[in-house]
Chains A and B, each alone.
Chain A
Amino acid sequence: MTDPRDRVFLARGLTKIYPMGEIEVQALRGVDLELFAGEFVVLLGPSGSGKSTLLNILGGLDSPSSGAMQYGGRDLGVYDDAELTRYRREHVGFVFQFYNLIPSLTARENVALVTEIARNPLPPEEALTLVGLADRLDHFPAQLSGGEQQRVAIARAVAKRPEVLLCDEPTGALDVQTGVRVLAVIDRVNRELGTTTVVITHNAAIAAMADRVIHLSNGLIAHIDHNAQRQAPDQIVW
């Protein structure tokens, strides 16, 4: 599992500084990190620890202020806007805390939005079946519950068969029961499709699902835990 040939991401000395009005916020202060193919990683840490910033840089949504982020041996830092767009289109699936569905499109159409521009996608119906929404294909986001909306978002993220699935607090807005269902879907995608999965959470209980748990604090990696045994989502208690 730690064979360098399976390495998907390699980060060295990542920093990120945001201007916020008149002050500057240092979100990352020098992060070194490796992620491997098929791995399930949880990023754990309090608010403002730099989790989301790290995830955004992994997903090509943002660029580091300094340091390097390699994907498959190539430095994302030198990519221009068009190359970053292609990188996201071809390799990355995103799941956001607030789902970010397009309200004017049905579940099926929200997934189709992504499959239409992917090279070798799952049919939208199949992706929605995978997340247990085969009977909700033609519902608009406003007609779906929060958990259902998040599962549409996961279907949308995985339908393109991405190498990497990045989830920013996917259960943050959900109750426990629904959260477990959503986590089960992410776990299933990781196991069945072998997608490298990174999940942000500040819920330590979820960490038990992961291969590795990366603890972030104040813009730095505090420590990394290896779970000998991944726990099934339905066994998680929080």
Chain B
Amino acid sequence: MTALDRKLWRELWQLKGQAAAIMLVIVCGVAIHVMFGATLDALGQTRARYYQEYRFADVFAALKRAPESLRERIAALPGVAEVETRVVADVHLDVAGFAEPITGRLISIPDNRESRLNRLYLRQGRLPAADRDDEAIVSEAFAEAHRLTPGAKLRVVINGRRQTLTLVGTALSPEYIHQLRPGSMFPDYQRYGVLWMGRRALGIAYGMEGAFNDVVVGLTNPRAAPDVIDELDRLLTPYGGLGAHDREDQPSHRFLSEEFRNITLSATLFPVLFLGVAVFLLNVVMNRLIGMQREQIGTLKAFGYGNGAIALHYLKLVLIIVLVGVLVGVGGGAWLGRRLAELYTTFFRFPFLDYRLTFQLVFGAMLLNLGGAMAGTAFALRAAFALRPAEAMRPEPPARYRATVVERLGLQRLLSQPNRMILRHIERRPLKSLLTVLGIALACGITMAGRFQEATITHMVEVHYKLSQREDLAVTFVEPTSWKAIGSLQNLPGVERVEVYRAVPIRLRFQQHSHRTTLKGVPPGGDLQRLLDADLRLLNLPSEGVLLTDYLGELLGVKTGDRLIVEVLEGSRPVREVPVVGLVKEYLGVAGYMDLAGLNRLLREGPALSGAYLAVDDRERSELYRRLGDIPRIAGTAIREQEIRNFHRTMEQTMLFFTFIATVFAVVIAFGIIYNSARIALTERGRELASLRVLGFTRAEISYILLGELGLLTLIAIPLGFVVGRGICTLFVDGARSELYRIPLIIHPSTYAFAATVVLASALLSGWLVRRKLDRLDLIAVLKTRD
């Protein structure tokens, strides 16, 4: 080892506390980068392989009923590679011992051959036998939620006929990686299940022998999708087509893509913040180290060491810190990433998980951190190189102090001598003080970003489920139904109020924008389903025109008064121009709303209903559930209380993990910055403080001078941290906006309090560690050294 390298190791050992603090920040930044990156890679890779190996379809269409012969015409469309026709039906399920209503989706699978598209991954058991009409496979999530194993019995109302099905297996499907009840935002594996039955059996049950009501298409080239969708719509319209769509509008795929986008946001935002802090810390530490070693640098230069050799010497110090940080961070990130990916697989049902650390990810993290750190250090080194060796060896000129603003204002009588020293020191190097304040503020902000979502989610639930969707129960009908259904619902036990709605699939067009969504017709003056404006006040539903979810308005670029094109995607598929009469505040989902009568006029059809919202008497719930299960017209029932629970559970499972990690990492940042600032202050001012001790100052007094400055900077940083935190939260909230949900920017006072506590605790810990060093200050030794 060269003498210069020995110098390096010994100095690194001396700097160990600060080096460890910086390493920790790097570890956190890299860990978070690798964690999200690896999770994203794993989920993306797994989804791609699953789609490919299990032939996930490219285009999907539901219809009323078409003869099987149409299949040939669909297969002949240009761009179509594979076609699978199916029978799909929504039913009521009964599982022994579970009182609440369960909605099931029955999907046919071909008898005696493997499906061409959306193949099943059989987890347990076998496929239904072709000659049996009472055998079914269920989705694994549903089976797990009810602890069903092959051989279990399920009671189903199929086309008005009660039937008992025998479970012969459990399976996964690329179509239901995220298994959501239509219209629901969050998974509920107990109350929604997917079942697969033989095509012949299901065809007979639904009168679909030689016919189908659902078709999935595989394409030769994904770019053919728009043309195939148009052609398919043309072919299916006479058969009650409900509008074909591509993967982007397939619920499971859509949800996964949105979640991937959110992970990408976190994977970008947080590592960048951590990298910024690490670079800042390295810059500060190296600046100080180089400042204190200017004579040594001068000496090395005098003996013929070139700038390159000296730069390399200091860069090595940085490289060691960064490399150790990166390696530990990659290890930690890989471990956390696996936990996170596994957490995701409880929502996203994959048959396998392709989890591996890619070279690009690790190399990218390394390069990013090394590059950032070296850039930070280069800045410090530049100052050292600008010095001629003769100059470098002269001790730094005495620092220039001057009276502070406070003193110049004539307020010096208010300041004791130590307080003056603190203020003058802060004022002498405003940039350094500012950077310390910014660093602490950043830590404060990151803590807030980890915490604020909890209060936000409570607010979302309050608004969505308490102000807007106020029903106890929502039922959907198998197909549009006449108004007479209201009467039969009102006569059910415990039903106190019934409000109906009509929902039609539509495509909205405005200028170059278009969006596929649902148009809901609701009667005016409803109490169970209410529309709110931006200030959460009740909106009146005009008899003409359409109201849009505020976010949908943004997506389409429309404002109140604009005229939209509404293309109805079912029935006679009318296309109309409709004015936008207002925007509705909604945090979950997007939709258009119209007066029910107005919608019927627009559709040019008689009054028809898609579903109803019910207010019910709690005491009669179980009887009501039982009776609802007997009504074949009802395809699904959603219980609001349960929706709220599902919402909380889903959010908590993902967010708690995230909150915990963000909090731990923010503490590391706060501690890293404050501890480093305190240590640097100690080295810079050790001599001065020792002199004061010799002059008779007590330990407490000199600690006050040193730590008082840090305390003051911390107190200044906290309010600034609140602003920074709000900024980070805004970035996060803006980035996470999607059609599925928009998180409002609501920061609860407890979030501010928590962030301030974390920062203060870090400051106290750093202060205590430095105070211990101060107490052991060797007065003689400090005074003897020249610098």
Contact = CB atoms under 8 A, between A and B. Distances in A.
Given A88-B304, A109-B6, A113-B3, A96 B390 contact: no
Nearest to A53: B390
Interface stretch (A31-39, A78-86, A184-192): A78-86
Contacts of A88: 301-304
Interface stretch (A43-51, A56-64, A125-133, A204-212): A56-64
Nearest to B389: A61
A86 B6 contact: no
B10 A113 contact: no
Contacts, number: 80
A162 to B, nearest CB: 10
**What 4 A-B pairs are tightest by C-beta distance, nearest first?**
A89-B304, A113-B3, A61-B390, A104-B10
B299 interface: yes
B303 A105 contact: no
B3 A85 contact: no
A50 B393 CA distance: 17
Contacts of B390: 56, 61-62
B638 to A, nearest CB: 71
27 contacts: A56-B390, A61-B301, A61-B302, A61-B389, A62-B388, A62-B391, A81-B306, A81-B307, A82-B306, A86-B304, A88-B301, A90-B304, A94-B299, A94-B302, A96-B299, A98-B786, A100-B393, A102-B296, A104-B11, A105-B3, A105-B6, A105-B10, A109-B6, A113-B4, A114-B303, A116-B2, A117-B303
A113 B295 CA distance: 15
Contacts of B2: 112, 116
B305 interface: yes
Interface in B532-551: none
A91 B388 CA distance: 18
A166 to B, nearest CB: 9
A118 B303 CA distance: 9
Contacts of A113: 3-4, 7, 300, 303
Contacts of A98: 786
Contacts of A85: 301, 304-307
A156 B300 CA distance: 11
A110 interface: yes
**Interface size, B (range):** 20 to 34
A59 B301 CA distance: 11
Contacts of B300: 113
Given A92-B302, A102-B296, A117-B303, 9 more contacts: A61-B388, A63-B388, A90-B304, A94-B299, A94-B303, A100-B302, A104-B6, A109-B3, A113-B3
Contacts of A116: 2-4
Interface of A: 56, 59, 61-63, 81-82, 85-90, 92, 94, 96, 98, 100, 102, 104-105, 109-110, 112-114, 116-118, 142, 156
Interface string B3-28: 11011001100100000000000000
B14 A100 contact: no
Which of A98, A114, A142 is most buried by chain B, counting CB atoms within 10 A of its CB?
Answer: A114
Nearest to B300: A113
Contacts of A56: 390
Which of A82, A86, A104, A109 is most buried by chain B, counting CB atoms within 10 A of its CB?
Answer: A104
Contacts of B305: 85, 89, 117
Given A61-B389, A61-B390, A100-B393, A89 B7 contact: no
A116 to B, nearest CB: 5
B7 A104 contact: yes
Interface string B309-346: 10000000000000000000000000000000000000
A154 B388 CA distance: 22
A112 B303 CA distance: 12
A104 B292 CA distance: 13
Contacts of A59: 302
A161 B301 CA distance: 18
A109 B5 CA distance: 10
Contacts of B3: 105, 109-110, 112-113, 116
